[in-house]
Structure 1
């Protein structure tokens, strides 16, 4: 019979005795000679997994079978061809369709009988179970490594290096300075592409010596590992390694990212602190910053004014041009007023009682969450020690996962309610805002607004200002994040 010899090794199997390409080639040739079969071609896959049928040489073999060149496919062992029950069924149907037989040199199979097909299916099922079982063990091993603060594998993220002795991540001093610079530029109003451009201009390179790109900057800015926390498998591991960026600064950057979403890049970079926040109280359109020089004085100097004007002014909006100092002053007044109101509400005894009830319920749910997470680890240990089967582990894991999802949903809802009730904290935040505001420059004010305020309305009277009278300005409808 015309024979097609299929040989496959995955990367880790190349070093094992009996699975190397040379060993399979020799044994399969001897087997074909013993059966008086003529070898038409060899189909060799090196460093390729059998998890699916998307393999170049396997596809070439199937094409030759379609063309009627092959009468029998010969492999060293069934799992050389496939480890999937579904793929096995499809391949056997394909072989039968083109009247091609399948043989294993080390196992007794006969695909021409129902019993032979059943036996092959059972063995393939065992091969798939072994693969899934291995995957479970690998995941458990990785989780245990992370709990011991060891790195589970792969290139360490930018800013960190891998210590082969401790198997842990360590801060790379040179790369850490680049990460800190990224965050500094981000708080200065730079977007990811401009940060990448600035780093490239100043001669900073990626670990591989390439220029920085916006995506690489974005990935670094969003990576929680920069705070020393490690996210893996849906869980967060605190104090996993040393932090490059303080957690508070990282969270501020994430809030800033949220506030910038949808904003025009020019607004983000603008040195006008109220651009992107101030809205016209008359038509609802954004207000943009504008600067101009006044009339020259006798000494030759001219005053410099920073003002804001409605972006729909040319479309007929009747709002007036408003001085930046007036908006600054009136915004602080509104913040002071809101701070006082929140403080009064926070001292309401009925509200304090509701807040205490929420706090107690939140603590109870958090305890339940920790209990379920601890139970999951116990199931994994029990499986590793052979106390429970893989099916039992999966059943327990699925139930615990559902419990975790429900608990996290309840906690999230409760935290949202608690945040609405926490007027005392909001009053303190606004008081800090007021104290620090006058010390900040234009860009620092813009960053502070980004973290706290979504928008506010601005309006003024229609009278023309002059030396003896300023235009009256109102700030209202302050909306917080």
Structure 2
């Protein structure tokens, strides 16, 4: 059974006004619906949302239920509750009309079905949009005036500040802001800064985790240097500076430099738009030259805990997908096309049935037209009463409308079949010429070729699922090539230099050059396994100059003291047993930290 929807919207500013609050609107609109005799009332309430956008949770739910045929009436306090933008309002009202939904505004009387009503709607909608633009202009003017008078900006102070005597003064979070700028200037990227702060237990002013976006907002905000923007210029404001101006402008230079580098060296990624992570997020390729990887967007945009996917090497997966398509075309073309052709056959059969049904309906339409003509002739000859004629003609016309609607729906289905036939022809042509086209195409054209053949590529931990537009699917096992520890052997002069370099890094390289494993080196030197791994990568990239500085000291981890105190009891345990034992003792142990500790102290017991 269809229901009546009461839609309520209040912006943050309007919530403060009595008589226009959620509860007030709800009470008055419910009474109005009862007076109108509407039953089965459902409430759709968007609290604190602007009327300038359609992306409101409850409005979207209302639109969905209207399209599904559950709503008969929509009631609002005033028309601008639906939208303050004219084009959005017209879109919503057209949606109502299309789905036979009646619209009621409690404080405005008009019939949306009449020309006068439609004119009134246009006028009221234009007024609402004008009112919104006027409010924005007034707010902007107030902001500028407050800045010129050295008064506080409107709104809540950002993290690091609190409002006091019409001035922004530093609070207990100011050191966090200072540290963010220092890390950014030192070379950390926003995602790395967010990850570091989150690990240390810091949170945003709202109590949320830091994200890449929240760090960006901080490093671009001139408020932290005591500056405000007036007519496009930055001037001193009534604000305590957390950082000096030199630090702020240095951060802006780095931002611009990174933007310029991206524009100068745009990265081209073949599978962007096609490749998705196992968690459902799209995957993006980072811009690290020869070390490109497709990584989960959730990990890139937020933090590592969003998804545990490690991604996949871009060059590897792009080459594998290209080779897969080529091999399938050469040896499995029939298998590739089989699901598509089966669907084509089913659609062809459906098309034949539809065409037969359309012929039958057109025949019925002609019969109804003939019956109508006979009734008109009988009325002209005086053989039938006017009232009987009216009833019979109305019934026949309704039947004819139903037949016409069905013919139209079936005709649309036949159009779908025609577009499917065009797709079939396009795929066949592309498969016949794929090898030649792929060789001569640039990246843009290759992406167009993929759009015809590939529906989706999903990356899992151990394999990649390639889904074709034909319905065929094929897996690629992820077996990325692994490099040796060193890209080259140490030369004699390098060995002499390292022997005279008093650092653990130098000792580590010499031990690795003698054939020792990374785990053995970490154990003997009592450093993290991961640090030795990074040392090898640094040596492959920059040579022995990476050894002229010492390993940074290990940070103390809570469980380490416990293990060292009970070392005689625990040193014979396997890694898994030790992990389980520590968890039983109440320690929250990250597996990578325990592994590093394991390599340093129990390398001989490593599984």
Greater fraction helix? 2
**TM-score range, shorter-chain basis?**
0.3 to 0.5
Higher relative contact order (CA 8 A, sep 6+): 1
TM normalised by structure 1 equals: 0.45
